[in-house]
Amino acid sequence: MKNWKVMAEPAGLDIPDMDRITAALDGLEASFRPLVKNIPHDVEPALSFRAAAEEQ
C-alpha cells in the first residue's frame, strides 16, 4: 500500500490526522490499481464526457 503521509508532505498538503483517511484510501487503491494495468494504450480519457456515442 502507498504511504499516504509520505505522499502528502512533499506535495505541500497540510492534512492533519491522516490516520482517519488512510484506510479508505487503501480500500480505493486496492480496487482501482488492478484496473489500470489492463487499459489498452490507445484508449483516450473521457474528459469531455457525453452519455451517448453520437455526441462524442
Partner 1 sequence: MTIQEAATALRAGKISSFELTTAALERIRALNPKLNAVQTLLEESALEGARQADQELSRKIDLGPLHGIPIAVKDVFETKGVRTTCGSKLFADFVPDRDAAVVEKLEAAGAVQVGKTGMHELAYGVTSNNPHFGAVRNPWDPERIPGGSSGGSGSAVASEMVFMAMGTDTGGSIRIPAAYCGTVGLKPTFGRVSRYGVMPLDFSLDHMGPLTRSVRDAALTLDVLAGYDPRDETSSRRPVDSYVPPPDAAIPGLRIGWPENFYFDRIDPAVMRGLKRMAAAAEQAGAVITPVRVPDIAAVNAVGRVILMSEASALMEPFLDRRDSFGADVLALLDQGRLIPATDYVNAQRLRRILQREFRAMWENVDCLLTPTAPMGAPKIGQTTVRIGEETEDVRLASTRLVRAINVLGLPAVAMPCGLDGDGMPLGAQIVGKPFDEATLLRVAAAIEDATDFHTLRPPL
Compute the least distance from the CB of residue 51 to partner 1, in Å. Answer: 3
Compute the least distance from the CB of residue 23 to partner 1, in Å. Answer: 10
Compute the least distance from the CB of residue 18 to partner 1, in Å. Answer: 8
**Residues near partner 1 (CB under 8 A):** 4, 7-8, 11, 13, 15-16, 20-21, 24-25, 28, 31-32, 35-36, 39-40, 43-47, 49-53, 55
- Rg (C-alpha) for the chain, rounded Å, is 16
On the 0-12 / 13-18 / 19+ scale of CB atoms within 10 A, 8 is: middle
Instruction: Provide φ and ψ at 21, rounded to 5°.
Output: -120, -10
